[in-house]
Structure 1
Amino acid sequence: MNPVSAAQLSCPVLPDTHERYVQLFDGAPGEQVSLVADQWDDHRGSWKVGYVYDQGRSLTLQCVYANQAMRDIAIPGRVDVCRYRTDSAGLTKLDCE
């Protein structure tokens, strides 16, 4: 898991596959606490996540690819809202503040 500062996050591009979707977890993905977006449609959505940090935990962004590969990106600094948007190429960017 690679820690990053909260701001704009993107899933890494992997050779010979493409991104399928992203998930946001309360803690590590192995704890299986996947968060459901508060608002969403086919191209964007958002989560209110300040409560996760209020309880002493952190978030992890998980990138899932067509070939079943996954990449986890830790979001260690406190954020209150995360918003995602998927572009026409199917790539997802996450903005947290």
Structure 2
Amino acid sequence: MLVVNSDQAILVEVKSKLSQTDIDEHLERLEKFKPLMPRYSDVKAMGAVAGMVVPEEVARYGYRRGLFVLAQSGDSVVILNDDKFRPRQW
């Protein structure tokens, strides 16, 4: 999923059960985003991963790689990142 406003873009990978492999593959796509989509060359791009099931170690891995991590919580979605988190930018 791609969410864009005038100066920022967030590329979100959504899975039913998020894995470390899913995160690694998303990071590869993030590296290719601006070269393949020059229309967005001037926006600040960030990444996020989301899942209905997000194992704790996978959430930590995504956090350490600079991604927003979203998980299902009941009927809602919560952001698992804390206030210290600073997203990686592409």
After TM superposition, the score normalised by the length of structure 2 is 0.30
Q: Which has the higher helix share?
A: 2
Q: Which has the higher strand share?
A: 1
- RCO higher in structure (CA 8 A, sep ≥6): 1
After TM superposition, the score normalised by the length of structure 1 is 0.29
